[in-house]
Structure 1
Amino acid sequence: MDSSAASGGTASMDAKSFGSRSARITGAVASYWVVSISMVFLNKAVLSGPSTKLDAPLFITWYQCVCTVAACYALGTLGIGGVPRFELRRTTMQRMLPLSLVFVGMIATNNICLKYVEVSFYQVARSLTIVFNVLLDYVILGHTTSRAAMGCLTVVLLGFLLGNEQEVRWSLAGVVFGVASSFFVALNSIFVKKHLPQVDNDPWRLTLYNNANASLLFLPLMLLFGEVDTLLESENARKSVFWMLMTVGGVLGVAISFAAAAQIKWTSPLTHNVSGTAKAAAQTVLALLIYRNPITVLGFVSVLIVLSGSLAYTLVRRAEMRAKFDSESAAHNASAKSEPR
């Protein structure tokens, strides 16, 4: 065969491979953005929309957990997406209970925050997650943080304070639940690492047990806060569009797991975090365009400060982890060379 023809064939195959990978990356990132943003706007519509509003955030969150359990059952039965067959063991449910309690706190406060704040302010209200990450890492795990990372956290904190000072439709309840959501998100990440081995390090089994436990834990909470009566008395709860949006929200709750996993698979954890930051910026701009929320110049600047600080923290931590890995690898290689043969 002519060498030039062979070269041309190889180049053609490389181009096709590159094009295929680029398409998958673009598709994964786009899917994550669409699913994540859609879920936020849909939940906001159910919590605050004039024709679908239901003043029962715990019930809405419970329904989405039930949808997730049902989806895990269906996907596991059909063997789709690597989801394992549906199986719940009481001993495992009990061992997973501490994580599930944190999980309930996380998703409940997240939706309650969204009920009280505008979507354009949502990112600022929940921006303290990385601050709590650092605090909990130090208190629980004893990990210290570099000055560079602390500088990034300071930027985020300043953006949070400026955003609260400049928000036109400021809500104390929204900020309180936003801060609580940030705390539970940070605590949840630590608990996930601790409890993942109890489900054979399978994220889908973790999702199943978490949502199954949450479906039970939310029941007394809904009764305690009178949300069952609210549901029975609500006119919107009798509308088919309400239940359609509720079910779509539950489906999106499962889809976000697939979308995030696909984005990480075809890019990297760092790119996933960067993409999430960019998505938050796009989400804020879309909220301003759709809802026409009043916002001051400094209010918009506060959003940019929060996002910039979060992105900088991600990049700094990535660089530090890379440097630590390189240092440990060099030390290991040096030790291997010095050992007598």
Structure 2
Amino acid sequence: MSQRKQTLFILSLVLLWYSSNIGVLLLNKYLLSNYGFRFPIFLTMCHMSACAILSYVSIVFLKIVPLQTVKSRSQLAKIATLSTVFCGSVVGGNISLRYLPVSFNQAVGATTPFFTALFAYLMTFKREAWVTYATLVPVVAGVVIASEGEPGFHLYGFIMCISATAARAFKSVLQGILLSSEGERLNSMNLLLYMSPIAVLVLLPAALIMEPKVLEVLGNAKGAVAVVISILLFRNPVTFIGIAGYTMTVLGVAAYGEAKRRYR
């Protein structure tokens, strides 16, 4: 690959990264704050389900990176621990978006290096040069000043956001500790492949317990899932009109439930 093509390829990846990351952030903010979707845990579960599916397709079918296998129960337990911490980080971030402006949410998230340095010192006794620590002072001071001057400040949202930021840093340090040996180290896509299904298993009971109305959403989806699985298993013929009719029914039931929730 020529230098020009390589540069364009890297720029395309950066653009895709920026657009997808910012797009998910803004969509989550719209759903949780403007639209009135009150299920941040369920939203996180959907996010992790998509991560599981897309990472599997990327690795197994598209072969973007080679598949790495989990070699021991110990390694799987470490991945499960990371996945649980990661769940807490994403859920906390989604909850904070319901109460805080995106700009302030991102300002608080920028303090991740401070928490990373703190956890690295507490957990591994790793010390940096004093100049490195000094550069973190304006990072923290900036958030304190921004909090004071933020008209949309919400204490609960701030606590959730700072907790999510700390959890993200904790996961980063923990990952370096748990998967430090050469035989257990996974690249980012394979780590996501194994973390995502575990995250879904952690989040599903949490959503059912803490967000009971999720049962209504899952109930609406159950019929559609059953139809798809039955077609795949029994290979019974279906027509376009039949699919269109059933889709209309499912969407109608979902719209009815949403209308009852929003206009009661």
TM-score if structure 1 supplies the norm length? 0.58
Matches within 5 A, 1:157-172: 157-172=140-155
Corresponding residue number in structure 2 for 1:44: 29
For each residue in 1:40-79, what CA deviation from the matched residue of structure 2 results, as whole angstroms up to 9, or x when unmatched?
11111221233xx310100000111111112233333313
Match of 1:232 among 204, 216, 239: 216
Q: What CA distance in whole angstroms lies between the structure 2 residues aligned with 1:236 and 1:122?
A: 35
Q: Does 2:166 match 1:150?
A: no
1:23 deviation in Å? Answer: 1.9
* Matched position secondary structure for 1:228: coil
Q: What CA distance in whole angstroms lies between the structure 1 residues aligned with 2:100 and 2:135?
A: 25
Q: Which amino acid aligns with 2:254?
A: R
Q: Does 2:186 match 1:201?
A: yes
Match of 2:105 among 118, 122, 128: 122
- On the 8 A contact 1:56/1:231 being kept in 2, the answer is no
For each residue in 1:159-188, what CA deviation from the matched residue of structure 2 results, as whole angstroms up to 9, or x when unmatched?
000110000111111110111011111111
Percent of residue pairs bearing the same amino acid type: 23
Question: Structure 1: any 5+ residue segments left out of the alignment?
Answer: 1-15, 243-341
Corresponding residue number in structure 2 for 1:136: 119
* Matched position secondary structure for 1:223: helix
Matches within 5 A, 1:61-80: 61-80=44-63
Q: What CA distance in whole angstroms lies between the structure 1 residues aligned with 2:172 and 2:14?
A: 22
Q: Does 2:34 match 1:34?
A: no
Q: What CA distance in whole angstroms lies between the structure 1 residues aligned with 2:49 and 2:72?
A: 18
Q: Which amino acid aligns with 1:224?
A: I
Q: Does 2:42 match 1:59?
A: yes
Which 10-residue stretch deviates more, 172-181 or 20-29? 20-29
For each residue in 1:251-275, what CA deviation from the matched residue of structure 2 results, as whole angstroms up to 9, or x when unmatched?
xxxxxxxxxxxxxxxxxxxxxxxxx
Q: What CA distance in whole angstroms lies between the structure 1 residues aligned with 2:205 and 2:143?
A: 34
Q: Which amino acid aligns with 1:80?
A: K
Q: What CA distance in whole angstroms lies between the structure 2 residues aligned with 1:33 and 1:201?
A: 24
- On the 8 A contact 1:58/1:221 being kept in 2, the answer is yes
Q: What CA distance in whole angstroms lies between the structure 1 residues aligned with 2:162 and 2:101?
A: 15
- On the 8 A contact 1:54/1:237 being kept in 2, the answer is no
Corresponding residue number in structure 2 for 1:269: none
Q: What CA distance in whole angstroms lies between the structure 2 residues aligned with 1:166 and 1:101?
A: 34
Question: Structure 2: any 5+ residue segments left out of the alignment?
Answer: 221-250, 259-264
- On the 8 A contact 2:96/2:160 being kept in 1, the answer is yes
1:155 deviation in Å? Answer: 0.3
- On the 8 A contact 2:42/2:214 being kept in 1, the answer is no
Q: What CA distance in whole angstroms lies between the structure 2 residues aligned with 1:54 and 1:183?
A: 25
Corresponding residue number in structure 2 for 1:297: none
Q: What CA distance in whole angstroms lies between the structure 2 residues aligned with 1:115 and 1:168?
A: 15
Q: What CA distance in whole angstroms lies between the structure 2 residues aligned with 1:33 and 1:164?
A: 26
Structure whose alpha-carbon radius of gyration is higher: 1
Q: Which amino acid aligns with 2:212?
A: V
Q: What CA distance in whole angstroms lies between the structure 2 residues aligned with 1:43 and 1:71?
A: 19
- On the 8 A contact 2:82/2:195 being kept in 1, the answer is yes
For each residue in 1:212-268, what CA deviation from the matched residue of structure 2 results, as whole angstroms up to 9, or x when unmatched?
11111112211231x1325628999925xx9xxxxxxxxxxxxxxxxxxxxxxxxxx
Corresponding residue number in structure 1 for 2:169: 186
Q: What CA distance in whole angstroms lies between the structure 1 residues aligned with 2:39 and 2:33?
A: 11
1:200 deviation in Å? Answer: 4.4
1:94 deviation in Å? Answer: 3.1
- On the 8 A contact 1:110/1:181 being kept in 2, the answer is yes
Q: What CA distance in whole angstroms lies between the structure 2 residues aligned with 1:127 and 1:62?
A: 24
Q: What CA distance in whole angstroms lies between the structure 1 residues aligned with 2:184 and 2:45?
A: 22
RMSD: 2.9
* Matched position secondary structure for 2:151: coil
Q: Which amino acid aligns with 1:216?
A: L
For each residue in 1:57-115, what CA deviation from the matched residue of structure 2 results, as whole angstroms up to 9, or x when unmatched?
00000111111112233333313312528x77893533422212211111111111222
Aligned length: 221
Corresponding residue number in structure 2 for 1:267: none
